[in-house]
Chain A
Amino acid sequence: MIQFTPEVVEAIITTASLIGAGVAVIAGMGPGIGMGLAAGKATTAVRRQPEARGAIITTMLLGQIISGSTGIYSLVIAIFLIFS
């Protein structure tokens, strides 16, 4: 069985934490792409049905608020991983 010195084990843990933080930050970019697509479709919907503008904006606002929280989750996890 391979025996690692404590320094090597610490280096492995630090590297794994940093890789995890990077993956978490990349995961937080997903909602941006989704929000952009939703906004594009909302523009088309408002052109097609201008009287529903208010309903479209409110629905999109609520959707963006909820999907935006994923980004904060990922940032919190990434910062925990980097600084712990």
Chain B
Amino acid sequence: MKHIDDPVRLQKEILKKTCYLAVIPVLYSLVSGEWATLLGLLFGLLIGTLIFRLRLINIERSLQMSEGKATSFIRNRYFIEYAIYLAVLLVARKNPAVNFLATAIGLFFIKFTVIGWVIIDLIRDAFNQKLESFKR
């Protein structure tokens, strides 16, 4: 991950990895016939992905502003995202056809992907360092 400097490429990589990772719970809920869980996961994933895309657009817009304007712009956008999350979670809680916890997990999926990717990178680096020192 740390070798990727292009934000658009990083975004594509994260979304690709999220899709790969999301296949496991989606298939599980499909096979077990838990439609509420499936709907919740897909709902959360969809909103999470769109907010992730929106976040990159906001960051790129904020870099053309002055420091004070960028600070307030990103802060206001975060509160809009927060309201969207609140609406999504309330809809999932109120609607019996959508599982609330599955929606929350769907919203978290991109974060899980990023954290997992960073941990795998760290383990790989540590392993390579050990291997290099062992070879020397």
Contact = CB atoms under 8 A, between A and B. Distances in A.
Chain A contact surface mostly: helix
Contacts of B72: 36
A39 B111 contact: no
Interface residues of B, number: 42
Interface centre among B68, B74, B85, B111 (most CB of A within 10 A): B74
A62 B114 contact: yes
A54 B72 CA distance: 22
Contacts of B131: none
A58 to B, nearest CB: 5
Interface residues of A, number: 36
Interface in B27-74: 52, 55-56, 59-60, 62-63, 65-68, 70-74
A61 B86 CA distance: 22
Given A32-B78, A36-B73, A46-B63, 16 more contacts: A29-B82, A32-B75, A33-B75, A35-B78, A36-B74, A39-B71, A39-B73, A40-B68, A44-B67, A57-B59, A61-B11, A62-B118, A69-B108, A76-B89, A76-B104, A79-B89
